[in-house]
Amino acid sequence: MAREIKFSLLYRDMWQSSGKYVPRVDQLLEVAPAIIDMGCFARVETNGGGFEQINLLFGENPNRANRQWTQPFNDAGIQTHMLERALNGIRMTPVPADVRRLMYQVKKKQGTDIARSFCGLNDPRNLEGSIKYAKEGGMISQAALSLTVSEVHTVEYYPGLADKLIEMGADEICIKDMAGVGRPAFLGKIVKNIKDRHPRVPVQYHGHAGPGFQMASILEVARAGAEYIDVAMEPLSWGTGHADVLAVQAMLKDAGFQVPDINMKAYMKVRALTQSFIDDFLGYYINPKNRLMNSLLIGPGLPGGMMGSLMADLENNLASINKWLSKHGKQELSQDDLLIKLFDEVAHIWPMLGYPPLVTPFSQYVKNLALMNVIQLEKGKGRWSMIADNIWDMIVGKSGKLPGELHPDIIKLAKEQGKEFYTGNPQNLYPDKLDDFRAEMKKNNWDFGQDDEELFELAMHPEQYRAYKSGQAKADFETDLAKRKAEAANATSPAIQTSVVSAGFEPKKLHIDVNGEKYVVHVSYGDGNGHDQKEASTPTPALQQQAVVSNGEVKEIISPLEGKFFLTKDPSEKAIKTGDMIQKGDTVAYIESMKTYSAIVADEAGKVVEICLNNGDSVDEDDVIIKLQ
């Protein structure tokens, strides 16, 4: 009898791998019945990763969204699964153990069945807590192997890691080929070794289409014994996303596997609804190049999920580099020039950093560091002069043990910077914090929510939740979206494509509000080639120190980069205030850029006479952020 293969729809990751935002809850509820009617999905990925932060960014309650979005699948008997980052939970930075434990309790009660847990370093210590807390919360624990290709990530390495995670209590194993760089034969051998050792443990394969291996990889892992395959569907399959369910189903059926039939009428409805969400507003945040496959991604091994924002990051950094080059009489770079330089630099520094698998957050860290090296080299300076705090934490072991050895130059640099290496359990560095957040909730008279879900949201995403509660997040999002729509409506055909997706992804109808008057604009597109979208408020890479410019008796602390301004990066820190005396070397603020925080350190002593920005404000390079006297 033919062996059965089941499919899981990545409706969350489809969006994250394409652009910045995900659909609103009303849109998710509209598409859910059609996904169910397709009749081919045993599982649907409904939340996790950046999903809830994105809800908060456009002013929507993620707990309401998650409960309502998972309910139709729960009712239909389709399992739901989430993605979480072990020590980092569902954010970019480490999470206290009590907050991690609460997450699984909340998510299970909200309707999520399976916790897919991955550690970006494949450190079993970080995953042990995830496995334990997921099972305590009543969830299925699916431990993920973050897959990459290096001299230390071998066919023997991954089955050995799976052995440890299954011994810790993991119910399932996921092969997380987050960049799609896993060679098909390599993946097949890993899956076969795992299934030979643990025949009753289900294996699910997750991969990305970008570099071009994925269809062959799916066939290999299916033949090796994988039971579940993650898939996407048009109009968000392929490109930096995932293989389309139609192609996967046809391929596996022809190979002799038992696969579910697909209700094509329902498929076309989901396709049309997804396109309508793109036309509504999501297309303004999807870069056209993210809909293309590119085998250049094989070299740097950058993950598909990160490519949703990479091109926008490059736009901002390209403008900054070219501004400097032009000022100094040098030839400006094209975006492709910068992209190739970045890919080459990632390949150069990755082994030096101990081969961290390029998955969130470490893919961002390696990419950010590579990009800053490129910028510095273009300006005639040296490598390694700009390293953000989060990146140092990875280097010195505060995020977990690196798979490989650090290059001697990196060790020497750490010692010169006074950094101490840490070999203990990373979780011990991040003490429990729920009581602090409970006190904040009570002080603000905020509702703790059903099953403490609002408390959890504040504890997991403090800054984003506060901006959501104040209404600032929604206001910022609506302002940005209105700007993009106005630019598109007033542009000629090629320029329209600056803000929206080309090759079938352009909005056909725009809803524009001009001075209170509402218009519906029908757009037709010519044959011109569109330019890349520029992502508003997308930060650039981080650095360690800023320049303090003397201006008479007042010294201005200048932002060295674009990003968002924060006085603190952790609730335990004490923010500076007007009137405080600052000593040379004191950290006075942070710039959050490309998901990492850069400490702004005073180069001179002085009294704070003005803090020029509020927490969360966007800041451009060379903006004055603090004044000292």
Helix (H, G, I), strand (E, B) or coil at 146: strand
Contact 80/114 with Cβ under 8 angstroms? yes
- Listing DSSP states for 166-189 in one string gives HHTT-SEEEEEETTS---HHHHHH
Q: Tens of pLDDT along 547-560? A: 444 455 788 888 87
The pLDDT, as a whole number, for residue 559 is 83
How many CB atoms lie under 10 A from the CB of residue 121? 26
Q: Tens of pLDDT along 77-89? A: 999 999 999 999 9
Task: Return mean pLDDT, the chain.
Answer: 86
Q: Tens of pLDDT along 445-479? A: 999 999 999 999 999 999 899 999 999 999 999 99
Helix (H, G, I), strand (E, B) or coil at 317: helix
Q: Where are the domains of the chain?
A: 6-20+32-266, 291-428, 548-628
Beta strands 596-601 and 606-611: pairing type? unpaired
CA distance 166 to 201: 8
The pLDDT, as a whole number, for residue 98 is 97
Contact 301/58 with Cβ under 8 angstroms? no
Contact 188/153 with Cβ under 8 angstroms? no
- Topology, domain 548-628: OB fold (Dihydrolipoamide Acetyltransferase, E2P) (2.40.50)
Nearest Cα residue to 502 out of 280, 286, 314: 286
Per-residue pLDDT band for 421 (boundaries 50, 70, 90) equals very high
CA distance 326 to 444: 50
CATH class of 6-20+32-266: alpha beta
Q: Tens of pLDDT along 365-416? A: 888 888 888 888 887 888 887 788 889 999 999 999 999 999 999 999 999 9
* DSSP category for residue 24: -
- Topology, domain 291-428: Cyclin A; domain 1 (1.10.472)
CA distance 223 to 219: 6
